Amino acid sequence: EERLVESGRGLVRPGGSLRLSCVASGFNFRSYNMNWVRQAPGKGLEWVSSITSGRPYIYYADSVKGRFTISRDDTKSTLFLEMNSLRVEDTAIYYCVRATGAAVGLNVYDALDMWGQGTMLTVSS
């Protein structure tokens, strides 16, 4: 069975740091681009960061750029999100998400096809 399991939930003070982890199983993790997506309380989904497979390219939302660092350890099938200088507005459920490229005709379309159950981060004084 394919699974993504996040860990690292917690309560952190503003300005603090936390590292989230996501362990993948049931599929060839190293072959997939991986992402973090979050949902703040009462808000919609927000894409946070992506890391490609192989020689990784890395992308961040402007809201976290310079504060968050995404990384992966393919030997352990694990995705990480290092979060520094945390703000109250970073409070959210953080989802680890796999992206799959599907061929339709001559094009390849990326979609977020597998999601973890999410881990809650609360930033509060």
Partner 1 sequence: DIQMTQSPSSLSAFVGDSVTITCRASQFISTYLNWYQHQPGKAPKLLIYAASTLQGGVPSRFSGSGSGTDFTLTINNLQPEDFATYYCQQSYRAPPWAFGQGTKVEIK
Residue 59 C-beta: closest distance to partner 1, Å: 4
Residue 25 C-beta: closest distance to partner 1, Å: 15
Cα–Cα distances in Å, from 7 out to 57, 95, 123? 24, 10, 16
How is residue 124 written in tokens? 């509060």
Q: Which is nearer to partner 1, 25 or 109 (CB)?
A: 109
In our burial notation (b when 16+ CB lie closer than 10 A, e otherwise), range 74-85 reads: beebbbbbebee
Of residues 7, 47, 67, 77, which one binds partner 1 by CB under 8 A?
47
Give the residues lining the site for partner 1 (CB under 8 A). 35, 37, 44-47, 49-50, 57, 59-62, 95, 102, 104, 107, 109-113, 115-118
